[in-house]
């Protein structure tokens, strides 16, 4: 993504218009970038004059205006008109114009590194055969995704890939779903097994530019295929932590036509896929040649995994849970760099919960231990158990004291755990079991998570505050701590302080120095309301949330170097969704990027340094997926988006670039 932001080990020459984000030190008038805080081993390229190193101090983003119908072309593409300002210790600064560079648009043919080509975002069944879209007779074609999502940028020691002239860098990209079949009327959401790919990128050591050399489709057959892979993160040990969102309800699977279609496309058999194999946390390990292996961690809870953030201890994972009646879940691994065994916790929220950033206090969190397990033993349970082996679920009150009333997935249920099945319930029916144990399952669409390690603060996105979070709603559970007076559809970003020395609700010590101890609102969106103060009312363009504030936050990533929280939107309230940069020290919120109207900002990933360069990755999904808010723009923008992105079947995977806005440093 962002091309080189942080020249840390080398002096790198700036070329006008070259795609790079240099967050390093600048050297003399020759416009060389040198490493910020570089040591004695810095090895500059050969300048004509000795470089004078100036040390990086800070970075800030200059906000761009939201695109409008005065420039409809900007509303129909990945549009970037923001700037990056880098300050140095000699009181000078360098300004960079930001841009966007895609590696591909899904549906493109890309190199497989072996002399052949593969379809970017293409779908494969459990036998690694192409899945064919047959909805238009005579135009059958390989299905491909319009919804790339979680992306990780990483390196592998001793990597060597044919065709790389600079340094090999890898991007792991997962494709969440495809919206429509090519007939434009057949809804394909959740009906295809999610592909995941490794991109081998050639990093130019002079400019930091990344170029696609090889596309490798990861074989997921050994993990039963993947289900709706959404957000992702990079583990501290350099692997891609994926997700499986909206775990299919095993108790109602017989009537779940979407899951049956998924099973048909995966196995060629509508009844073969096992719901207990999905809703887990996959991990992708990239090999030195740009191929990869994958495994699923069945012991991290079967929830609506949105994004897992592993803390600097390399053991503690805070997990997004994108569901109605979702909760805060933490997994503490037994060993560093190994998520295959550990203990799962769910939070109970104390008094004082608020979504108002002006509130002076945070709501405390206490932690309920749900269980300890290995991935292997839970996968074995998933292979052998039926849902009725684990618990009994009643949709009506059985008038039996042995049942416990809960609210799960927005619906009231009464459940009874079968004898000896607590572990199976904890890890295969995690939402129901956490509610049974008294955890606060009242959140709605808890999306991305990330961590500010220096301050020991985690951030968590609530895409919206509705239904189960609102007092008086049928899905709201009285006394669970998650209750606000009225909805905020535009959502909020929460901040969670992290500490050690914590005990679970039984008084047993939790073996982690990175447990969330409270939660408070950091940033909130603003609904645009009618005179009744309740009904959403669009502005002239159609936005039903203030376009100059965040709305429906989803992807979150934090840059330690820039002290910046990046926020990507999944909004049905902004006509164009945006990606924002929020400096946690200056409190400045800046709009950095706008995705095509009707699309969602995805794939956000900020990497402070790879071989001396900093990158910000960004994708988008389903451009031109029109809703009610697009009534004023649809007619004008639809043909533009179709022309840009394969009749709206394609979406871009790429990164933010930077080039010097001025070739001379200006003193402040």
Rounded Cα gap, residues 412 and 420, in angstroms: 24
Higher pLDDT, 194 or 534: 194
Q: Using an 8 Å Cβ cutoff, are 9 and 43 in contact? A: yes
394-403: average pLDDT: 96
pLDDT of residue 51: 52
Rounded Cα gap, residues 326 and 472, in angstroms: 18
Indicate if the pLDDT at residue 30 is higher than 80.
Answer: no
Written as six digits, the tokens of 645 are 């992105």
Q: Pick from 509, 605, 650, 629: which is nearest to 210 by CA?
A: 605
Measuring CA to CA, how many Å separate 613 from each of 206, 262, 334, 450? 10, 40, 34, 21
Q: Pick from 406, 411, 424, 176: which is nearest to 276 by CA?
A: 424
- Weakest mean pLDDT among 203-212, 633-642, 658-667: 658-667
pLDDT of residue 410: 85
| Percent of residues, the chain, with pLDDT higher than 90 | 85
CA 290 to chain centre: 22
| Mean pLDDT for all residues in the chain | 91
Question: Long-range contacts of range 253-259, CB-CB < 8 Å, 24 or more positions apart?
Answer: 258/189, 258/190, 258/191, 259/190
Q: Pick from 426, 428, 469, 472: which is nearest to 445 by CA?
A: 469
- Other C-beta atoms closer than 10 Å to the C-beta of 232 total 29
Q: Using an 8 Å Cβ cutoff, are 618 and 579 in contact? A: yes
User: How confident is residue 12, by pLDDT bands cut at 50, 70 and 90?
Assistant: very low
Q: Pick from 142, 96, 148: which is nearest to 119 by CA?
A: 142
Instruction: Using alpha carbons only, give the angle 256, 261, 262 rounded to the nearest 5 degrees.
Output: 95
- Weakest mean pLDDT among 476-485, 530-539, 592-601: 476-485
What are 527-548's pLDDT values in tens digits? 999 999 999 999 999 999 999 9
pLDDT of residue 25: 29
| Percent of residues, the chain, with pLDDT higher than 70 | 91
Q: Using an 8 Å Cβ cutoff, are 650 and 182 in contact? A: no
pLDDT of residue 662: 55
Q: Using an 8 Å Cβ cutoff, are 346 and 480 in contact? A: no
Measuring CA to CA, how many Å separate 626 from each of 128, 181, 493, 578, 632? 33, 16, 26, 16, 11
pLDDT of residue 141: 98
pLDDT of residue 274: 98
Residues in the chain: 668
Rounded Cα gap, residues 255 and 265, in angstroms: 17
Q: Pick from 639, 607, 634, 605: which is nearest to 619 by CA?
A: 605
- Other C-beta atoms closer than 10 Å to the C-beta of 589 total 17
What are 605-618's pLDDT values in tens digits? 999 999 989 999 99
pLDDT of residue 665: 37
Q: Using an 8 Å Cβ cutoff, are 496 and 521 in contact? A: no
Q: How far apart are the first and last CA of the chain?
A: 29
CA atoms within 13 A of residue 224's CA, in its CB half-sphere: 22
What are 73-84's pLDDT values in tens digits? 999 999 999 999
pLDDT of residue 52: 57
Written as six digits, the tokens of 160 are 């060597």
434-440: average pLDDT: 96
Identify each DSSP E strand in 256-362 by its residue range: 281-286, 292-297, 305-310, 316-326, 329-335, 338-349
Strand-pair partners of 519: 363
Q: Using an 8 Å Cβ cutoff, are 655 and 101 in contact? A: yes
What are 34-70's pLDDT values in tens digits? 222 223 333 333 334 455 578 889 999 999 999 999 9
For the chain, the structural domain boundaries read 106-143+146-297
pLDDT of residue 661: 85
User: How confident is residue 4, by pLDDT bands cut at 50, 70 and 90?
Assistant: very low
pLDDT of residue 106: 98
Indicate if the pLDDT at residue 209 is higher than 80.
Answer: yes
pLDDT of residue 360: 79
Rounded Cα gap, residues 650 and 572, in angstroms: 20
What are 399-420's pLDDT values in tens digits? 999 999 999 888 999 999 999 9
- CA torsion, ordered 359, 363, 364, 366, to nearest 10 deg: -160
What are 491-523's pLDDT values in tens digits? 999 999 999 999 999 999 999 999 999 999 999
473-491: average pLDDT: 91
């Amino acid at each position: 993504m962002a091309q080189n932001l942080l020249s840390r080990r080398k002096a790198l020459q700036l070329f006008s218009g070259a795609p790079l984000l240099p967050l390093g030190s600048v050297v003399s008038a020759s416009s060389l970038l040198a490493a910020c805080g570089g040591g004695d081993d810095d090895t500059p390229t050969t300048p004509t004059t000795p470089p004078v190193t100036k040390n990086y101090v800070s970075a800030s983003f200059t906000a761009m205006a939201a695109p409008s119908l005065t420039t409809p072309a900007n509303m129909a593409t990945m549009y970037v008109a923001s700037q990056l300002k880098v300050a140095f210790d000699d009181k000078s600064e360098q300004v960079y114009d930001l841009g966007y560079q895609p590696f591909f648009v899904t549906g493109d043919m890309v190199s497989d590194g072996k002399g052949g080509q593969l379809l970017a975002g293409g779908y494969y069944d459990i036998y690694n055969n192409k899945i064919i879209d047959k909805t238009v007779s005579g135009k059958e074609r390989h299905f491909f995704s319009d919804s790339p999502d979680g992306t990780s940028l990483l390196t592998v020691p001793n990597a060597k890939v044919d065709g790389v002239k600079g340094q090999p860098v890898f991007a792991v990209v997962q494709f969440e779903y495809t919206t429509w079949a090519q007939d434009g009327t057949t809804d394909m959401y959740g009906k295809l097994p999610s592909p995941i790919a490794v991109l081998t990128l050639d990093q130019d050591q002079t400019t930091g530019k990344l170029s696609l050399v090889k596309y490798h489709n990861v074989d997921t057959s050994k993990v039963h295929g993947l289900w709706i892979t959404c957000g992702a993160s990079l583990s501290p040990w350099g692997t891609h932590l994926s997700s499986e969102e909206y775990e299919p309800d095993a108790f109602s699977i017989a009537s779940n036509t979407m899951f049956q279609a998924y099973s048909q496309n995966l196995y060629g058999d509508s009844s073969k896929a096992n719901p207990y194999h999905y809703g887990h946390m996959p991990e992708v390990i990239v090999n030195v040649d740009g191929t990869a292996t994958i495994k699923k961690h069945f012991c991290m809870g079967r929830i609506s995994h949105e994004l897992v953030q592993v803390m600097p201890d390399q053991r503690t994972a805070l997990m997004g849970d994108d569901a109605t009646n979702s909760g805060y879940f933490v997994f503490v691994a037994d060993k560093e760099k190994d998520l295959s065994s550990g203990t799962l916790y769910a939070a109970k929220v104390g008094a004082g919960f608020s979504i108002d950033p002006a509130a002076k206090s945070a709501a405390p969190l206490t932690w309920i231990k749900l269980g300890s397990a290995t991935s292997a033993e839970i996968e074995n349970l998933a292979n052998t158990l039926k849902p009725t082996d684990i618990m009994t679920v009643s949709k009506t009150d059985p008038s039996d004291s042995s049942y416990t009333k809960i609210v799960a997935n927005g619906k009231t249920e009464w459940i009874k755990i079968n004898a000896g099945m607590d572990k199976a319930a904890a890890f295969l029916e995690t939402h129901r079991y956490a509610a049974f144990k008294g955890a606060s399952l009242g959140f709605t669409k808890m999306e991305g998570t990330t961590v500010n390690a220096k301050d020991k603060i985690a951030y968590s996105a609530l895409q919206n505050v509705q239904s189960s979070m609102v007092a008086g709603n049928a899905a709201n559970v009285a006394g669970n701590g998650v209750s606000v007076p009225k909805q905020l559809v535009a959502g909020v970003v929460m901040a969670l302080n992290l500490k050690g020395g914590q005990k679970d609700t039984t008084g047993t010590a939790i073996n982690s120095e990175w447990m969330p101890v409270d939660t408070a609102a950091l940033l909130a969106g603003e609904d645009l309301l009618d005179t009744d103060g309740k009904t959403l009312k669009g502005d002239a363009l159609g936005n039903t949330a203030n376009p100059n504030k965040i709305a429906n936050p989803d992807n979150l990533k934090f840059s330690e170097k820039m002290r910046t929280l990046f926020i990507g939107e999944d909004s049905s309230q902004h006509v164009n969704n945006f990606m924002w940069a929020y400096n946690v020290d200056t409190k400045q919120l800046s709009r950095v990027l706008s995705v095509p109207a009707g699309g969602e900002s995805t794939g956000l990933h900020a990497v402070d340094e790879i071989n001396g360069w900093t990158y910000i990755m960004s994708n988008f999904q389903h451009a031109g997926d029109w809703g009610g808010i697009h009534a004023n723009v649809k007619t004008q923008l639809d043909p533009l988006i179709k022309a840009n992105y394969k009749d709206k079947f394609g979406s871009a995977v790429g990164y933010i670039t930077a080039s010097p806005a001025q070739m001379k440093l200006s003193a402040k």
